[in-house]
Amino acid sequence: MSILGEVVESVKAIVKGLRVTLSYIPKEKLTNQYPDEPVQVFSAYRGEHYLNVDENGKERCVACFLCSAACPANAIYIEADEDLRPYKERFTKEERFAKVYNIDYGKCILCGFCVEACPKDAIKHGHNFEMAVTNFADLIKDKTYLLKNRERESQLPVIIIDEITREKYAKAK
């Protein structure tokens, strides 16, 4: 084979090899430049939980223990108590409430069973994935933290992809 032939073949091979790469150059970029840019996550992403409150700002959790029963990793610990004060004064919707509500993220596998089990829509998955800590004990998150998590949702370094962006995403693919 002539040298020319070899050159042509090589160029062809290079072009063939780079075709996939090159075809992406004009398309929309999908890589997130985390942590410089926010991460895109789906709305159904199972991040760190938050505890929900109802329209009046009362805690929805009634400490029914169903989430802890559903948890395959045994990560949820609850202690229930009663608050016999009138509705206006107490923080919770029902008289029964969780005095202690701890999730141990050292155990939690973020499977979402607790969210499915909850009859009161009290526990939800947030979109926070930055759960690294430098101390084991900090992995256990208490009720105050989990309640605050709901407010933190808006400040997370994530872009939550709703249905429309998802379609767009699919098309782009």
C-beta of 144: minimal distance to other proteins in Å? 20
Q: Which residue of 46, 96, 125, 152 would you call a contact of other proteins, by CB under 8 A?
A: 96
Round to whole Å and give the CA distance between 126 and 52.
10
User: Of the two residues 66 and 103, which places its CB atom closer to other proteins in the complex?
Assistant: 66
The reply to whether 100 sits near other proteins by the rule CB under 8 A is no
User: Of the two residues 49 and 127, which places its CB atom closer to other proteins in the complex?
Assistant: 49
The reply to whether 153 sits near other proteins by the rule CB under 8 A is no
Cα–Cα distances in angstroms (integers) from residue 131 to residues 31, 46, 51, 52, 122, in the given order: 21, 13, 16, 19, 21
Q: Which residue of 38, 94, 105, 159 would you call a contact of other proteins, by CB under 8 A?
A: 94
Q: Which residue of 58, 107, 120, 125 would you call a contact of other proteins, by CB under 8 A?
A: 120
C-beta of 167: minimal distance to other proteins in Å? 36
36-73: burial string, b at 16+ Cβ within 10 Å, e else: eeebebeeebbbbbbbbbeeeebbbbbbbebbbebbee
Looking at the chain, how many residues does it have? 173
Q: Which residue of 7, 119, 138, 168 would you call a contact of other proteins, by CB under 8 A?
A: 119
Round to whole Å and give the CA distance between 66 and 120.
10
Round to whole Å and give the CA distance between 34 and 39.
6
The reply to whether 68 sits near other proteins by the rule CB under 8 A is yes
Residue 124's SS3 state is strand
Residues that bind other proteins in the complex, under the rule CB under 8 A = 62-66, 68-69, 80-82, 94-96, 119-120
